[in-house]
């Protein structure tokens, strides 16, 4: 018996519509107790929509439509009713409370999708794709997650699992005919399957960093001395005034973060406090925060006030470049409009006037080029930490199988390593799973999904 559950599937609050989802055994009978229309929901055909009145203890709550999805052809694989009502805080709550009074219980976060997984409607990579779609912050992240939801990642894994299982099975079959010396599979075919799967695992494992950029965004930290033009550049890249610009040093004490989009990617700009010696407690805390912000940045723009000299910020730039080696750092020579002539450009700097938007295209092209480098390994899947660890483990197990095969250590050892790799690949899609893994995945979902 699948207990009937209910939850709001749309964001709460003022809106044109709200959608309440109910799923489980007896859910149509429960809705029948509250819904008055031309057709009883328990008798309605699957994938049909019905208009009528929703009542609670004889009182009209709202005029609604009820969409009927009969198992197994529903999101959860169970009987599902989706009730569309007028938006707002009260109406949806009243409908949910009424359904609970008649036998439903409030769903836990992600419980509808969890049931879809447990009922075989989707595998774990597709479950994770649902979460990635919901949290997509850019077109590229969304498109990649949609491809993963369509099952492209799952199909590739299934193909490699089959080849490895076929090889393991034939190796084990040879053991039954050891006295006859039969060879049921060419060792070169096994090696080819192993090598192709290792390459697949390595390729996807390498895309982990790129996937994190898609999922979380590409971070651009803007740093430098006070009054170098950091906030002016921040506003210029945003194409609107977001940060306060002042000639008074220390105006930016906290950091500001905003998002722009370049070629479908989410780029998160971070305007940080000016780096200088100060006794102001609040400003000191802001400067401390700069370190953690720059540590998570993919690209660091160190801004120099060119009116103070081309090399005024060189020491700071080289210090930051050395400290944050994992990031790309570039020196931005600002206020070129205030100097008589442009100095000779060095290979680690760009000349701009943030105030006049001069040279901004060079910064945008720099970000574009860095994005191309950072995301070149992106495939049709958003690799997360769970995938990454399992792909690395499967690769190690396959390398061990390869060594055993080449050294002639025996069919049983090779087959055992192949089956271990198959089991690990199966964990990615959820052939086997622990409750801790499920709890961690579904903790990222909201109630109603």
Same domain, 335 and 408: no
Residues 262, 161, single domain; the answer is no
Domain-embedded: residue 290: yes
CA distances for 268 relative to 102, 212, 236, 305, 361, angstroms: 47, 13, 14, 23, 17
- The Cα 439–Cα 442 span in angstroms is 5
pLDDT of residue 280: 52
Helix axes 411-429, 187-206, angle to 10 degrees: 30
User: In the block, which residue shows the tokens 């109603």?
Assistant: 448
Residue 439 lies in a domain: no
Model pLDDT, residue 183 = 67
Is 339 within the bounds of a domain? yes
Does 37 have pLDDT greater than 90? yes
SS3 label, residue 146: helix
Q: Look at residues 374, 396, 411 and tell me which one is the last residue of a structural domain.
A: 374
| One domain, residues 203 and 220 | no
Say how many domains are in the chain. Answer: 3
The answer to whether residue 408 scores a pLDDT higher than 60 is yes
The answer to whether residues 273 and 348 belong to one domain is yes
Q: The domain spanning residue 359 has which CATH number?
A: 3.40.50.300
How far is it, in rounded angstroms, from Cα 225 to Cα 302? Answer: 9
239 and 366 co-located in one domain: yes
C-alpha–C-alpha distance, residues 350 and 362, integer Å: 7
* Same domain? 219 vs 338: yes
- Residue 440 located in a structural domain: no
* Nearest CA among 432, 417, 427 for reference residue 172: 417
Same domain, 320 and 359: yes
Judge whether 441 lies within some domain: no
110-159 pLDDT tens trace: 999 999 999 999 999 999 999 999 888 888 888 888 989 998 899 999 99
For residue 442, being part of any structural domain is answered with: no
pLDDT tens per residue across span 241-272? 765 554 545 444 567 889 999 888 899 999 88
The last residue of a domain, from among 357, 374, 391: 374
Share the mean pLDDT of the chain.
88
The CATH number of the domain holding residue 54 is 3.30.1360.120
Give the residue carrying structure tokens 């000639």. Answer: 247
Q: Does one domain contain both 223 and 330?
A: yes
Q: Which CATH number does the domain housing residue 173 bear?
A: 1.20.120.430
Question: How large is the average pLDDT for residues 183-196?
Answer: 86
Residue 280 lies in a domain: yes
One domain, residues 146 and 290: no
Domain that holds residue 43: 5-122
Burial class (CB in 10 A: 0-12, 13-18, 19+), 172: middle
Check whether residue 182 and residue 105 sit in a common domain.
no
Question: Does the structure show a pLDDT above 90 at 81?
Answer: yes
Quick one: average pLDDT of 359-380?
Answer: 86
10 Å CB burial of residue 152 (0-12, 13-18, 19+) is middle
Q: 309 in the Ramachandran plot: left (φ > 0), alpha (ψ -120 to 50) or beta?
A: left
Say whether both 235 and 291 belong to one domain.
yes
Distance between CA atoms of 164 and 405, rounded to whole angstroms?
13
Tokens 């050891």 label which residue? 178
Residue 129 counted as domain residue: no
**Taking the model in full, what pTM does it have?**
0.79
20 & 100 share domain: yes
């Amino acid at each position: 018996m699948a207990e009937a559950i209910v939850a709001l599937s749309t964001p709460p609050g003022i809106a044109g519509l709200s959608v309440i989802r109910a799923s489980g055994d007896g859910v149509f009978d429960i809705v029948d107790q509250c819904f008055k229309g031309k057709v009883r929901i328990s008798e309605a055909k699957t994938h049909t929509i019905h208009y009528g009145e929703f009542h609670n203890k004889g009182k009209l709550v709202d005029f609604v439509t009820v969409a009927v999805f009969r198992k197994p052809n529903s999101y959860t694989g169970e009987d599902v009713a989706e009730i569309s009502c007028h938006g707002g805080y009260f109406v949806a709550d009243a409908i949910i409370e009424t359904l609970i009074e008649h036998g439903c219980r409030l769903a836990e976060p992600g419980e509808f999708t969890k049931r879809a997984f447990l009922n075989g409607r989707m595998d774990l990579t597709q479950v994770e794709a649902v979460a990635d779609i919901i949290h997509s912050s850019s077109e590229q992240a969304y498109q990649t997650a949609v491809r993963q939801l369509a099952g492209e990642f799952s199909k590739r894994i299934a193909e490699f699992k089959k080849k490895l299982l076929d090889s393991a099975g034939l190796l084990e079959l040879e053991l039954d005919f050891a006295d006859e010396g039969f060879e049921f599979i060419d060792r070169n075919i096994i090696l080819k399957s192993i090598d192709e799967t290792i390459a697949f695992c390595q390729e996807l494992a390498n895309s982990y960093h790129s996937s994190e950029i898609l999922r979380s965004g590409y971070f651009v930290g803007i740093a430098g001395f006070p009054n170098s033009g950091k906030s002016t550049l921040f506003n210029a890249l945003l194409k609107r005034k977001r940060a306060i610009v002042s000639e008074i040093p220390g105006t930016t004490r906290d950091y500001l973060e905003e998002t722009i989009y370049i070629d479908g990617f989410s780029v998160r700009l971070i305007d940080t406090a000016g780096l200088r010696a100060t006794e102001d407690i609040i400003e000191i805390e802001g400067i401390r925060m700069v370190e953690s912000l720059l540590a998570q940045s993919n690209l660091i723009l160190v801004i120099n006030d060119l009116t103070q000299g081309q090399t005024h910020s060189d020491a700071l730039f080289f210090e930051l470049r050395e400290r944050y080696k994992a990031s790309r750092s570039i020196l931005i020579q600002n206020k070129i409009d205030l100097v008589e002539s442009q100095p000779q450009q060095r290979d680690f700097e760009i000349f701009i006037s943030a105030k006049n938007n001069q040279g901004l295209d060079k910064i945008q092209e720099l970000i574009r080029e860095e994005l191309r480098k950072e995301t070149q390994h992106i495939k049709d899947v958003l690799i997360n930490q769970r995938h990454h660890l399992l792909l690395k483990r499967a690769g190690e197990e396959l390398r061990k199988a390869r060594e055993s095969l080449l050294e002639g250590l025996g069919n049983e050892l090779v087959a055992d390593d192949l089956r271990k790799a198959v089991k690990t690949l199966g964990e990615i899609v959820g052939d086997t799973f622990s409750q801790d893994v499920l709890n961690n995945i579904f903790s990222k979902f909201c109630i109603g999904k």
